[in-house]
Amino acid sequence: MKRNWLILLLLLICLAPLTMQAQNKFFRFAQITDIHFAPGNPNPTEDLLRTVAQINATDSIDFVLVTGDLTDNGDRLCMERVKSCLDLLKAPYHVVLGNHETKWSESGCTAFADIYGGERFEFMHKGFLFLGFNSGPLMRMAYGHVVPQDIRWMIAEMEKAGKDTPVILVTHYPMLDGDVDNWYDVTDAVRPYNVRLFIGGHYHRNRQLSYDGLPGILMRSNLRDADGKPGYGIYEVGPDSIRVFTQRIGEPKQQWAAISLTHSYYDHQGRAEKYPDYSVNQAYPQVKATWTVQTGVGIYCSPATDGERVFVADDLGCLTAYNLKKGKRLWSFTAERRIVGTPAVAEGVVVFGSADKRVYGVNATDGKLLWTLDASAPVLGAAAIADGAAYIGASDHTFRAIDLKSGKLLWAYTDVQGYIETRPLLADGKVIFGAWDNTLYALDRQTGRECWKWTHGLSGMHYSPAAVWPVEADDKVFIADPKRALTAIDLRTGKTVWRTFQSQVRESVGLSEDGQRVYAKTMNDSIVCYAAQGGEARQLWATNAGFGYEHAPSMLPEKDGIVYASTNDGLVCALDGKTGRIIWQHKVGNSLINTVVPLEGQRVLVSSTDGTVTLLQAKK
């Protein structure tokens, strides 16, 4: 008997390390996603607080992942209120942005980093590397997008951890065609590493997906479901699998997926299952790139040019000048935060705003700083220059006129209710712009005195005429808002002349050089043209350009009788302004093309969110 006890004791001693190892391998974490906190609606707050309380009452939750759409409007106050709820968690938590934090952001997405400590996260837990990053889109209505600098960061972190280290990647969007425009860049970049799982939200329902073979999980929204129950996710990581559960408040958790940690789901040497189709470029071989620069940084604004140089601002706060003929880099000036508003240049001065709460004037020749003007919030508006003055709007509810040479404030209009991102229209002695408060403003250019305000009477900031760049002809201002109406407004009085839903346009307009025609882009395939003259909406032509679903706010400028349109998936279209006949199309990439800048001789300056800057040339 004594011998049996001795054998048993020896066996327990031998098995103890293995038991401890198995216990150390196991861990559990929670996921909260799509909270959609909104002022005036107590339900999302109540749902989140109930979720926090139940997570706190659950044994062995090591940490919590919060995967975006914390708020409806992306504003600082709402994000701070969400944080005050998340701070009640006993376990540490890690947060990534959702599209509601990136598209509608009066801070240019800088408030998120201020509040939560950064736009991405990295940590190791029991041998697993967790990487969370933004999947966009930033400040523009478009598909999701992972910027080049975040892809480089992921690769560097996985290299540092070692290729055998299991990795879990955390985003808001799923890495799928139709959700993220450069999904293939992401899956190709991470494929050589030991990626075990992508975790996200966005769909508001449970989905088990494959991203070019890499396993993906989307979790239901935290918002209460049809039965009035909030919910969240629980992940149990063991030695050979990750089990995925939905946890409704007050109910037992329900497993609905499992991911193997021993099975190889994808070929580490393979490639994405499909790539974007560039065959349109073969159909129009007369279009070539004179030069192309891959900046490696996201770009959310159009280029500006003085005829000799091209000025491009980017996500890292750099304004870079290139030689117009050859694309050679000339100089770079760096602000402290990202730049999302298109710069303007005149009289040797480049003017732009930054999310660092400043307006800058720099020397166009050498990039030397000439002056700065401080605002009290990020400056996200595009600049316009005329008669020695620069005009620009900011997120401190203020629109400013600035002396171009000295940077001295000429006047400030402080009665804007929302934040400003548009480029103002300068016409008839007025400066006209929209803001994210449902309002179009007209101010006296010399004094800043309010001339009129226009609103279509709809509640909710998402219907604001704020992303469109207004144009003017025949004593009318033309806009297209997110309500999908092309609208003509009396330039003198601010009264609606006509408003049509015929073409389902959104946030994109343009004007012919002779002021006779207004152009707009619809949300599905078509570019349309309306008469600028007269008191009623009159469509002149509509052309099916075949670009599919489209919601990017890129304007339609005309040069030498050719109107140019660009899309959220990298396509540039050139059409005859009078007839709508397609002259050529060219696909630059698969990401959002900002409003293009046409030059003489069918040359077009192009920038895109994937960091591409190029000069296209169409030969006759």
pLDDT tens digit sequence for 588-609:
999 999 999 999 999 999 999 9
Which class in CATH covers the domain with range 25-260?
A: alpha beta
pLDDT for 457: 81
- In angstroms, rounded to a whole number, what is the distance separating the alpha carbons of residues 341 and 416? 18
For residues 435-440, average pLDDT: 96
The pLDDT confidence band at residue 462, using thresholds 50, 70 and 90, is confident
The two three-digit tokens of residue 443, written as one number: 């101010």
Q: Which residues contact 17 (CB under 8 A, 6 or more apart)?
A: none
pLDDT for 19: 40
* pLDDT digits 0-9 by tens, 466-478: 999 999 999 999 9
The two three-digit tokens of residue 236, written as one number: 């149990």
* pLDDT digits 0-9 by tens, 52-70: 999 999 989 999 999 999 9
* pLDDT digits 0-9 by tens, 144-154: 999 999 999 99
Q: Residue 184, SS3?
A: helix
Amino acid at 174: P
Long-range contact pairs involving 495-498 (C-beta distance under 8 Å, separation at least 24)? 495/454, 496/454, 496/456, 497/535, 498/535, 498/536, 498/537
Angle between helices 42-56 and 76-86 (to 10 degrees): 30
Is 280-618 the same fold as 25-260? no
Locate the domains of the chain by residue range: 25-260, 280-618
Question: Is the per-residue pLDDT at 614 higher than 80?
Answer: yes
Strand partners, 616: 289, 604
- What rounded mean pLDDT belongs to the chain? 95
pTM over 0.75: yes
Question: Is the per-residue pLDDT at 25 higher than 90?
Answer: no
Question: Is the per-residue pLDDT at 23 higher than 80?
Answer: no
Contact between residue 146 and residue 190 where contact means Cβ atoms under 8 Å apart: no
The two three-digit tokens of residue 68, written as one number: 């975006």
167-170 and 128-132 as β-strands: parallel, antiparallel, unpaired? parallel
pLDDT for 341: 98
Q: Give the homologous superfamily in CATH for domain 280-618.
A: YVTN repeat-like/Quinoprotein amine dehydrogenase (2.130.10.10)
Amino acid at 400: R
Question: Is the per-residue pLDDT at 90 higher than 70?
Answer: yes
* pLDDT digits 0-9 by tens, 554-568: 999 999 999 999 999
